[in-house]
Amino acid sequence: MRRVAVRRDGVVLSCLAGGLGDEVIVLLHGLAGSGQEMLPTAEALLPGRRVVAVDQRGHGHSTRRPRDLSRRAYVEDVVAVVEELAGGGPVTLVGQSMGGHTAMLVAAWHPHLVHRLVLLEAGVGGGGAQDDYPDKLGDWFASWPVPFADLRSATEFLGDTPIARAWLRDLDRRADGLWPRFEPGVMRAAIAAVVDGARWEEWRQVTAPTLLVQGQNGTIAAAEVQRMVSLRPDVMHVVIPDAGHDVHLEQPDAWVHTLRTFLDR
């Protein structure tokens, strides 16, 4: 996988791209993640497919403090990536959490670009504003004692969970220490746009074959999933045991098997 850049609206979008063939898979990470955490998924799909793992705006190696953090901005970034790196599609869009929400909106607003859609621990949005979820999450990210002096001190603070190990692998080494590849305020604003309202109309508009994957102990409410499936009974719905929100990191083999099964249908 090589790192390439797509430029749009004053923002640099850094992507990891590799593979061969006509089939293109675009991977979108969740909030506070990066394309780096999607590498095991990407590598499991190589070399017979082309894969692009995007660092979404405000994340990873992409522009750290973009001015526009609207859902529309994230969607149009994906459109630019598909047009520049995938010949205009159509592609299979795979997104986890916030990345899945972005992927769903792309499929609804730009159906000609999306051949298949995969949502991993992702729903229609909404539901988080009433308990100040964006502020609480932003405050937690702001509580990190950065810069970390070294990897040991970062590990002592973040722990040894799968998502913590993904953050640790992706820390930005600077002269004064180790920094996360995101800003707390940017994360707060980005997730606030997701929870601002449920996108049921967009979910109804999606025509691409869709795979909806949950972790057995994930965070998407059962009632939301039930309604999603009832509105689109053609959706393939899979629950992966012994997994929480970060299924791709917690149960990577089961996740890749599920994804490949869908892709090979």
How far lies 258's CA from each of 28, 47, 50, 240, 252, in Å? 17, 18, 18, 9, 10
The pLDDT assigned to 133 comes to 87
The pLDDT assigned to 130 comes to 57
Q: Which residues of the chain have pLDDT under 50?
A: none
The pLDDT assigned to 30 comes to 98
How far is Cα 24 from Cα 104, in angstroms, rounded to an integer? 17
How far is Cα 142 from Cα 136, in angstroms, rounded to an integer? 10
CATH of 2-126+198-263, one of 3.40.50.620, 3.30.1180.20, 1.20.1250.20, 3.40.50.1820: 3.40.50.1820
Is the torsion defined by CA of 154, 157, 162, 163 positive or negative? negative
Q: Which of 223, 219, 212, 225 is nearest to 246 (CA)?
A: 219
User: Do 187 and 32 form a contact (C-beta atoms < 8 A)?
Assistant: yes
Query: Helices (DSSP H) in the chain: which residue ranges?
Result: 39-45, 71-85, 98-109, 133-142, 151-158, 162-169, 184-195, 200-205, 222-231, 247-250, 252-263
Instruction: State both tokens at 154.
Output: 């970062």
